Structure 1
């Protein structure tokens, strides 16, 4: 049986909707929405591919709770000064890698993020894959872990907004 066979259509659809809603929320700039996609004790990490594959812990961003995500939202709004830009995610459909007996879903999807600074052409900003662990909650599916593994070792200037 394939890993996807362990999901019924409603769960598969809910997983796809979670991923699409996430991309829409972070592209909208309504940062208060971002933490709501995660469980209280979540992990969100943005890490270069080389470090991830070698098991090295260094990450560009690493948050280990929803409270830390909220703190990042505060930082985006109140303390970080940067040239404003828009971002747009293009995300592939999630591939189900495994479904645990308790219903926890392990999925992977490719992403590309484009950045547009005011009065400049859009550029490719970040490309990689999401490694997601998704759990059922009373509010629906949530990320208990979202690893954003980007392919390049170089990151332009700095990463302000969530990937």
Structure 2
């Protein structure tokens, strides 16, 4: 959904009372809450999608998420904990592809209304440097 859409369906992968953050590794490891993108409900994720689609002005681009080394770490209190590595490649029409972001996902997944959904998703990126803007979710 994040690569070829429909992006509008992406928030449906999350519980209503979810938590989503794109955060630098050093902040996450230090327990600091400062993130470059932080959403505390599905409604906030829907607002993010709306802003990408309707209000933000940016050059057309293609985004590819490459997800590897997916691991289920265990289950605790009805939450399945998992992790995976990710790399996001961005291609603008008149430029070579470039790595936009890379790091790891730290997820907590639970059964919600008959479907498994993300209760919590941290996108912990490795570098403290990011491009001028992160438009799409990680």
Q: How does 1:74-113 map to 2 (within 5 A)?
A: 74-102=50-78, 104-113=79-88
Equivalence for 2:101: 126
Shift of the alpha carbon at 1:98?
2.1
Q: Deviations over 1:111-155 (max 9, x none)?
A: 011000012111111000000000012342100011000000011
TM-score with structure 1 length normalisation? Answer: 0.81
Matches of 2:113 and 2:16, distance apart in 1: 13
Pairwise CA RMSD: 1.1
> Any stretches of 5+ residues in structure 2 without a counterpart?
none
Q: How many pairs align?
A: 138
Larger strand proportion of the pair: 2
Matches of 1:80 and 1:105, distance apart in 2: 35
Shift of the alpha carbon at 1:95?
1.2
Matches of 2:66 and 2:114, distance apart in 1: 25
Shift of the alpha carbon at 1:101?
4.7
Equivalence for 1:155: 130
Larger helix proportion of the pair: 1
- Cα 1:101–1:71 change in 2 (3 A) is closer
> Secondary structure of the equivalent of 2:137?
coil
Q: Which contiguous aligned blocks of 4+ residues in structure 1 show a shift greater than 6 angstroms?
A: none
TM-score with structure 2 length normalisation? Answer: 0.95
